[in-house]
Structure 1
């Protein structure tokens, strides 16, 4: 089948990493996949070349960019470009991801290829808590309208699906859960976290520890990692505060922050407020195309977000056999089994206690990491995601053959 995928940008975030995993697999199975995308913002990174290296055609859409601040002229330009591209490609399926690409891509599909199946994925949502109440209400109305002309709506977690139903975007039967999948191999090959002596935990495994060497971090030092955009919803300032509490108990502890974004000045200001010796042990790495070295270097992944769908960084950490400590938001509890593959908490003190507990108990930390690795291998591989998407597309195409337009929700 011919699949047109539309994303606002191929940055280092979860949606792009999932596309990087699934689409080369779909191509190997004989499908033609064309990815349409805008340009990432400064500091976000860009996975377009990696996707092209996997044999996927990537087309840049002029004017396609995120946010309500994008001028209507740009939105119209992006829609006209997609209409022309869809008319030429005549895809069997148009699959859009996240809000802006979802609005523009589905509108273009209805005009240019009305016979194509229209699929949209919510990777979490911005319908509550991101914008003032009147703006949120407007976005909900838009999504409700779009849902009526979308053949299938996908959510990355049960929690995201429940939110969409609660907000009246669509009825439960129209929204299917499609958990993320990523390329696991680079992470599965990493050695387990170090034992108390600083030696590899498993005989024969030889971690390179290049990131530790680059930042002069002793192999015996406990390292906490934070991976994600420096955006308000990620609450990276809170992560710095959690580290401050943990570092008071573990004087050698380090914090690695991989990501960039608009919150960077606030994060830097909060780091500067730490005691000088503690502040020197926080390393801002910026946006990284390859986060494997980060997962290799850390002992625990920390997430302090106020909202999540199902975070790809946590899947990566699990594949690397690193336990996660996180706020219990969105789909996180579906991914992190509290007390089994990681720990969940609600505030700074709880997060700090959880991190400190894992750093202080090597056996428990390693056991959680092993269980996490086993679990994601079964559920979140690139092949598993491709299987799920292929099944959804085939069901949608059968439905489209039966009716010209989907029934309203």
Structure 2
């Protein structure tokens, strides 16, 4: 199967799961063409991500005039299809979170994508990651005569504004819609027509075999907790710093590592200074996948006090190396982490609840941490191996195309 992947920004430091999925599809014999609307918005620190830059076609690389040229060519070559796609783009702009000029740009990007696909030898399936603008471009490309399209919904953004994103229309026109958790599927079913429910498949994000290693790493004796993720409002790092302040006020000895970077870093640094936690909290900035694994191995456990989520890949990564996870009862997280089995779950939005879980983890004996880590590793091995999940994705596309062929 020849598959074209479309992502808004690629490669991106927080989207290594897309790279892993593409690599797994290629291991199973698929040819994957990479397309992105634009490039990266931060330093690309991972060598594998840097290699992906040369494999990716960027639709906005040649500027607005190139997009306009693609649209003009498409309108001349197939005026009827172009008119239908134009009407669809304008319909998607009604009640949208962005005004109609953006949707005309999406149409021009779709024209450029169709042209680029034709120049690359074509594809039998077009797949977008995230149900936002990339999914709309894929849908418009299909309306212009491009291949059948599908998209993966991760959340939480799509779940925050499904009507403004036209999610129901995208699901109606797609041949497959992917949710990364049962929770995600339930949220998509809320907005999909009943006839479209069978299109929604659960395909987990996954890890490559090399990330697991041969066995779980023995638990660290250090009183160190690590939080991995973009420094942003939905991940809850500000709350985590408040919880750390509570533990410090009790005289507990610990280190908290915030692995990542993002728009809320100045606010988080200010909170660290306000609470006098400079000696206990360390912010790494963006780091590579190998460095993330190193931080996880060096920690007692991973803590993620998220307010909104899909199902964080970093939780899988922590459990894969035998580290318990402290996180919230949010979205798909309880599908992977069970309280008292693979770690500790606590109420979202409560610094006191986060502090209780952190206190319990810091006091837990090594054998309890090791048992949680082993349980977590087994659960990830059973549910989140990327080659297994990529096979499910290929099967979903094949089934959808077979059904379409029988109907035709």
Normalised by the length of structure 2, the TM-score is 0.81
CA contact (8 A) 2:159 2:187 kept: no
In structure 1, distance between residues paired with 2:322 and 2:251: 22
Change (3 A) 1:399 1:44: farther
Please, which of 168, 175, 183 is the counterpart of residue 208 of structure 2?
A: 183
Change (3 A) 1:138 1:191: closer
Aligned position for 1:222: 223
**Worse-matched range after superposition: 366-375 or 234-243:** 234-243
Please, which of 114, 117, 129 is the counterpart of residue 86 of structure 1?
A: 117
CA deviation map 1:257-277 (0-9, x unaligned): 1111211111111111112xx
CA contact (8 A) 2:39 2:58 kept: no
Aligned position for 1:75: 106
Once the 2 structures are TM-superposed, how far is the Cα of residue 76 of structure 1 from its aligned partner? 4.5
1:335 aligns with 2:339: no
**SS in structure 1 opposite 2:150?**
strand
CA contact (8 A) 2:336 2:379 kept: no
In structure 2, distance between residues paired with 1:336 and 1:52: 32
In structure 1, distance between residues paired with 2:162 and 2:341: 39
| Structure richer in helix, relative to its length | 2
CA contact (8 A) 2:235 2:304 kept: yes
Change (3 A) 1:79 1:7: same
Aligned position for 1:260: 261
CA contact (8 A) 1:33 1:56 kept: no
Aligned position for 1:104: 137
CA contact (8 A) 1:44 1:259 kept: no
Once the 2 structures are TM-superposed, how far is the Cα of residue 39 of structure 1 from its aligned partner? 4.0
CA deviation map 1:229-283 (0-9, x unaligned): 11221121112112222334564311111111211111111111112xx322211
**SS in structure 1 opposite 2:127?**
strand
**SS in structure 2 opposite 1:139?**
coil
1:395 aligns with 2:399: yes
CA contact (8 A) 1:44 1:229 kept: no
Once the 2 structures are TM-superposed, how far is the Cα of residue 18 of structure 1 from its aligned partner? 2.3
Matches within 5 A, 1:153-302: 153-168=177-192, 171-188=196-213, 191-194=217-220, 198=221, 221-249=222-250, 251-275=252-276, 278-290=277-289, 291-302=292-303
Aligned position for 1:204: none
In structure 2, distance between residues paired with 1:186 and 1:30: 22
Give the RMSD, CA atoms, in angstroms: 2.7
Aligned position for 1:59: 57
In structure 2, distance between residues paired with 1:111 and 1:25: 29
Once the 2 structures are TM-superposed, how far is the Cα of residue 167 of structure 1 from its aligned partner? 3.5
In structure 1, distance between residues paired with 2:269 and 2:353: 23
Where structure 2 has 5 or more consecutive residues not aligned to the other structure, the ranges are 64-96
Once the 2 structures are TM-superposed, how far is the Cα of residue 166 of structure 1 from its aligned partner? 2.1
**SS in structure 1 opposite 2:253?**
coil
Change (3 A) 1:119 1:384: same
CA contact (8 A) 2:12 2:41 kept: no
Once the 2 structures are TM-superposed, how far is the Cα of residue 41 of structure 1 from its aligned partner? 5.1
CA contact (8 A) 1:156 1:309 kept: yes
Change (3 A) 1:55 1:378: farther
CA deviation map 1:112-164 (0-9, x unaligned): 42xx33211101242454xxxxxx36425x11112111111110011111112
In structure 1, distance between residues paired with 2:39 and 2:247: 34
Where structure 1 has 5 or more consecutive residues not aligned to the other structure, the ranges are 130-135, 199-220, 405-409
Aligned position for 2:169: 145
Aligned position for 2:384: 380
